[in-house]
């Protein structure tokens, strides 16, 4: 059960009943927390809505903004996925945490060594 004013989650009815009448935020409720959209990674990029694309871009360390179109977001994500695939093929350690520029540098370095 969640307090309607401060949104604290209580595991028992007793805790909830004790808290709600005395909630410090009773006269000034906190805004409802915004949940990040859940991204279905099995869904093709072209079937995702803009909010899903933005959330997916964030998981891929892409600096995406609301002003970007779906087409631009899709292209950026696709490019990052291709870079990650190449980095995995080249057995670059830690590629999962690299941004685009770091990935490109690591790929170029790995290819120059081979």
Can you give the pLDDT at residue 38?
66
Whether 95 and 67 share a structural domain? yes
Measured CA to CA, the distance from residue 52 to residue 59 in angstroms comes to 11
pLDDT band at 97 (very low <50, low <70, confident <90, very high): very high
Q: What is the mean pLDDT of the chain?
A: 89
Whether 70 and 93 share a structural domain? yes
Can you give the pLDDT at residue 88?
94
Whether 30 and 50 share a structural domain? no
The boundaries of the domain holding residue 1 are 1-34
For residue 93, what is the DSSP state?
T
Whether 1 and 57 share a structural domain? no
Q: How many domains does the chain have?
A: 2
Place of tokens 């927390």: 33
Whether 22 and 44 share a structural domain? no
Nearest to 5 by CA among 67, 62, 23, 102: 23
Can you give the pLDDT at residue 35?
63
Whether 53 and 18 share a structural domain? no
């Amino acid at each position: 059960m969640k307090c309607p004013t401060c949104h604290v989650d209580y595991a028992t009815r007793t805790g909830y009943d004790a808290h709600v009448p005395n909630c410090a935020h009773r006269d000034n409720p906190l805004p409802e927390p915004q949940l990040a959209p859940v991204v279905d990674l099995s869904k093709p990029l072209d079937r995702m809505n803009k909010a899903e694309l933005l959330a997916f871009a964030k998981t891929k360390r892409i600096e995406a903004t609301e002003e970007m179109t779906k087409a631009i977001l899709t292209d950026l994500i696709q490019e990052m996925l291709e870079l990650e695939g190449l980095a995995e093929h080249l057995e670059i350690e830690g590629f999962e945490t690299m941004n685009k520029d770091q990935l490109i540098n690591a790929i170029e370095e790995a290819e120059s060594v081979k």
